[in-house]
Amino acid sequence: MPSHLSADRPAAQPPGRGSVDALISQTRRLKGDVDAVRRDVEGDGSDHPRDRWQRALYDLALHQLNDLDEHLAQLRDGPRPRQPPRNPPYPRAARCSAGSAAPSGTC
C-alpha cells in the first residue's frame, strides 16, 4: 500500500531549460544587488567590528551565489561527456595461455 504522502504529491519533474535559465538570471541579478550594497558598506572605510562582520556576510553571500550560478549552469547544460583517460595507469599484462605459463607462476 503506498504511503499517504505519495498520493498527495505528484512525482517531481526535472525543471525545463527555460526555468533553469530564469533561475540563473535571478541569481545573477541578486549577485549584482548584493555586490552594490557591499560596495556601499565598504565605501565608508569604517573598521568597526559590526562593519567587518557585515562585509564578511556580504562576501559569503556572493560566494554562495557564485556557487549557485555554477550549479544551475551545470543543471542546464547536463552532464559532461566522460573522457577516457589519456594514459592508462598500468600497462595491460599479456594474458597467459594454458600451455605457456610464466616461469614465476603468475598465470
CB–CB of 38/58 below 8 Å? Answer: yes
Residues in the chain: 107
Q: What are 23-43's pLDDT values in tens digits? A: 999 999 999 999 998 888 776
Compute the average pLDDT of residues 17-25.
Answer: 92
Compute the average pLDDT of residues 88-107.
Answer: 61
Compute the average pLDDT of residues 81-96.
Answer: 71
Burial of 55 (0-12, 13-18, 19+ CB in 10 A): middle
